[in-house]
Amino acid sequence: MSLRRPAKDQPESFEFNASSLEAANVIVAKYPKGKQQSAVMSLLYIAQKQNNNWIPLSAMKYIAKFLDMPYIKVYEVATFYSMYNLAPVGKYFVQVCTTTPCMIRGANQLVEACKEKISKNECELSNDKSCSWMEVECLGACVNAPMMQINDDYYEDLDKQKTLDILDKILNRETIKPGSYRGRVNNEPENNRKTLMDLKNA
Ligand code: FES
């Protein structure tokens, strides 16, 4: 897991634009009176979307006021979950899962591919400034390990060469196909197996 710290360069202020404000109000209205603080994760996500995929400290303060809750509580949530970016990321943001199931299926190879193609260190922009990467904890797709997330999509059943090919494509602005790279539909068994005992097709 990478070290996550707020960016050194921070904008002085933040406020929701019209569409973010509308979305935030819809979410807050779903909670009973007095429980609006429960919307904090959704509002952080809206702020991140509005701000080029990262959350400045000023947005955390704005959300704290918006929900009438202490700033430190918003800060705690934003800094705990790796889906919230605390510093600018590339337009193509690659998150490689390196938790145990992905690790034993070769996640290190995906990390090597990112180091070769994007940047030697995590959370640094590629030479053309379009792409960055980081290691994250389980993304909930363990059955298709090893995998990575690029922006909102999952790329699964990867190895080093497949990862290099995907990264080449995004760096060349080519379209990439999300999902399994071993031809599975969603997370179906490989080789048409129907049960764990069906070893003849394994
Ligand atoms: S361990 Fe990688 S997705 Fe769960």
User: Residue 128: which CATH number?
Assistant: 3.40.30.10
Q: Do 107 and 144 lie in a common domain?
A: yes
For residue 34, tell me if it sits in a domain.
yes
Would you state the pLDDT for residue 158?
A: 98
Q: How many CB atoms lie within 10 A of CB 109?
A: 18
Strand partners, 131: 92
Question: What is the distance between the alpha carbons of residues 42 and 66, in angstroms, rounded to a whole number?
Answer: 13
Residues 102 and 137 reside in one and the same domain: yes
6 Rama sector, left if φ>0, alpha if ψ -120 to 50, beta otherwise:
beta
> Do residues 131 and 173 both lie within one domain?
yes
Does the pLDDT value for residue 52 go beyond 80? yes
150 and 171 Cβ atoms separated by less than 8 Å: no
Answer whether residue 130 is part of any domain.
Answer: yes
Residue 181: DSSP 8-state: S
Full residue range of the structural domain in which residue 30 is found: 18-80
Confidence of residue 82 (pLDDT cuts 50, 70, 90): confident
- Give the pLDDT confidence of 138-158 residue by residue, as tens digits: 999 999 999 999 999 999 999
pLDDT of 191 over the 90 cut:
no
Question: In terms of domains, do 104 and 48 share one?
Answer: no
25 located within any domain: yes
Check pLDDT > 90 for residue 73.
yes
Q: Measure 95 CA to ligand 1 centroid, in angstroms.
A: 11
Residue 13 resides in a domain? no
Q: Does residue 162 sit in the same domain as residue 107? A: yes
Looking at the structure, tell me whether residues 75 and 101 fall in a common domain. Answer: no
pLDDT at 123: 86
Same domain, 139 and 175: yes
Best mutation site among 83, 136, 142 for ligand 1 pocket (most ligand atoms within 8 Å of CB): 142
Residue 73 lies in a domain: yes
pLDDT of residue 202: 54
Note the pLDDT of residue 192. Answer: 74
My answer on whether 100 and 56 are in the same domain is no
pLDDT tens figures, 163-183 = 999 999 999 999 999 999 998
Query: Which of 82, 96, 109, 138 gets mutated to test ligand 1 (max ligand atoms within 8 A of its CB)?
Result: 138
pTM score of the predicted model: 0.80
Of residues 128 and 196, more confidence is placed in 128
**CATH no. for residue 61?**
1.10.10
Residue 192 lies in a domain: no
Domain shared by 30 and 51, yes or no: yes
What percent of the chain lies above the pLDDT cut of 70?
96
* Average pLDDT estimate for 34-38: 96
For range 77-104, the mean pLDDT: 94
pLDDT at 201 (0 to 100): 53
Q: Are residues 174 and 122 in the same domain?
A: yes
Place of tokens 């603080």: 37
**Closest alpha carbon to 93 in 118, 75, 59:** 118
| 172 inside domain | yes
In a shared domain, residues 42 and 100:
no
Name the H helices within 29-178. 40-50, 57-66, 71-80, 100-104, 107-117, 160-171
Pair (72, 100) in one structural domain? no
Q: Which of 140-174 are b and which e, b meaning 16 or more Cβ less than 10 Å from the residue's Cβ?
A: ebbebbbbbbbeeebbbbbebebbbebbeebbeee
| Most informative mutation of 82, 83, 96, 97 for ligand 1 (most atoms within 8 A of CB) | 97
Cβ atoms of 23 and 46 closer than 8 Å: yes
Query: Tell me, what DSSP letter sits at residue 32?
Result: P
Q: How many domains does the chain contain in total? A: 2
How far is the centre of ligand 1, averaged over its atoms, from the C-alpha of 182 (Å)?
17
132 Cα–ligand 1 center, Å: 20
Report if residue 117 sits inside a domain.
yes
Q: Which residues' Cβ are closer than 6 Å to ligand 1?
A: 97, 99, 101-102, 138-142, 145, 147
